[in-house]
Amino acid sequence: MNKQYDMLSPEALGKIDREVAKYPADQKQSAVMAALVIAQDEKGWLPKETIAVVASYLGMAPIAAYEVASFYNMYDLHPVGKYKLTVCTNLPCALSGGVHAADYVKEKLGIDFNQTTPDGKFTLKEGECMGACGDAPVLLVNNKRMCSFMFPEEIDKLLAECN
C-alpha cells in the first residue's frame, strides 16, 4: 500500500473500495463523491491534502477531485465546529418558520451564518432545499442527521443534547 494513503484509515479505504465496486472497472472516478464524504467524516473537514489523497486513490487528477469538492455545498473546505447545523431558509420552510428558526439558533449561539462558536462546538450554515418541506422548520446536524419540526422547544433540546 502506498504510504500517502496512511492519511486515511484502513476502515475509510475499505468503505471507499465498496463505493468503487458499484461502478464499471474503468469508471473509478464515479466514486469520488462518496469517497470525499467518507474522508470528510473521518477528518472533520477536507484539507487540500486529503482531497489529493482521495484523487490519487481513484486515479484522478487532484484538481478534478477539488472541482467536485468545491462544487457541492456539503463538502467543508474549511474547518467546522463539532456540530455543523444547517438550517433550511427556502420559501416553503420559511412559510412555516425556517427563517425564524435560523434567527433563533443565531441568537442562542451568538453567531451568524458561516461562523463557529468560540469553543469550536457549533458552526451554523444556511441551507437550501433539503426535500423535507412538509416537516418545516428543518435542520441538518453534521450533514447526515435531519431534524424535523424544529420549533423553539425542540431547538433548545437539540442544542442541550450536543456535547
Partner 1 sequence: MALIDTINPLLTTGWSKGDAGWSLKDYEARGGYAQLKRILASKMTQDEVIAEVKKSALRGRGGAGFPAGLKWSFMPKAAPEKYVVCNTDEGEPGTFKDRDLLRYDPHSTIEGMIIAAYAVGAKRGYNYIHGEIFDIYQRFEEALDQARAAGYLGERILGSDFSFDLFAHHGWGAYICGEETGLLESIEGKKGQPRYKPPFPANFGLYGRPTTINNTETFAAIPFIMGMGGEAYLNLGKPNNGGTKLFSVSGHVNRPGNYEVPMGTPFAKLLEMAGGMRGGRKLKAVIPGGSSAPVLPADVIMDCTMDYDSIAKAGSMLGSGAVIVMDETVCMVKALERLSYFYFEESCGQCTPCREGSGWLYRVVHRIEHGEGRAEDLDLLNRVTDNMMGKTICALADAAAFPVRSFIKHFKSEFEYHIEHKKCLVDPEVQRAGSGFFRASSAAGAA
Identity of the residue, 8 or 155, whose beta carbon is nearer to partner 1 in the bound complex:
155
Residue 71 corresponds to which cell in the numbers above? 462544487
Identity of the residue, 95 or 162, whose beta carbon is nearer to partner 1 in the bound complex:
95
- To the nearest whole angstrom, how small is the minimum distance from the Cβ of residue 13 to partner 1? 17
- To the nearest whole angstrom, how small is the minimum distance from the Cβ of residue 92 to partner 1? 4
- To the nearest whole angstrom, how small is the minimum distance from the Cβ of residue 52 to partner 1? 15
21 φ, ψ to 5°?
-65, -15
Helix (H, G, I), strand (E, B) or coil at 111: coil
Q: Contact 54/32 with Cβ under 8 angstroms?
A: yes
Cα angle for residues 52, 68, 87 (degrees, 5° grid): 115
Q: Which residues bind partner 1 (CB under 8 A)?
A: 22-24, 27, 29-34, 36-37, 58, 60, 64, 67-68, 71-75, 89-92, 94-101, 104, 127-137, 140, 143-146, 148-149, 151-154
Identity of the residue, 30 or 117, whose beta carbon is nearer to partner 1 in the bound complex:
30
Distance CA 40, CA 42 (A): 5
Identity of the residue, 80 or 119, whose beta carbon is nearer to partner 1 in the bound complex:
80
Residue type, 77: L
- To the nearest whole angstrom, how small is the minimum distance from the Cβ of residue 2 to partner 1? 20
Provide CB contacts within 8 A for 54, sequence distance 6+: 8, 16, 32, 35, 36, 39, 65
